[in-house]
Structure 1
Amino acid sequence: MIIEQWRRNQAKLRQAGRIAVEEARCAGAPAYYHDPREGGVVRELPDGSRHLVEFINGEDVVVREIGPRL
């Protein structure tokens, strides 16, 4: 049942994520989200740069730089 609801609302969930990233950018704060295409957690900075990160001892550590969202 939950999976069915998620499938029906995928577009709304994605839109909510895009709005949250844009609000973080406007506030001058990084946004963090999971992107399975990139293989983990992405940190997107207000300037649009993006990094795949891992968390080690409570700190985010850049694994690699990734390109802008398309």
Structure 2
Amino acid sequence: MKLFGNKNECEDCHARFGSYDELVLHARDEHKKHIVKCADCGKLFLHEKDRLHHAKEERERKVDYRRHKF
């Protein structure tokens, strides 16, 4: 089990970053990690499970918007 004091901490070298986006770029550039991208908004993610969570939240947000639009 991995425990990190900072959610924006690199799993490989334990460098810490001010934002998740900075962590993703670090992982891609320094550790040559495969990065997944949201097809709708272009946001980058370290793990597919994070992209799927993001996609689910975006879908729910769109449905909620449509539901309250009328």
TM-score with structure 2 length normalisation? Answer: 0.29
Determine which structure has more spread, i.e. the larger CA radius of gyration.
2
TM-score with structure 1 length normalisation? Answer: 0.29
Going by fraction, where is strand more abundant, 1 or 2? 1
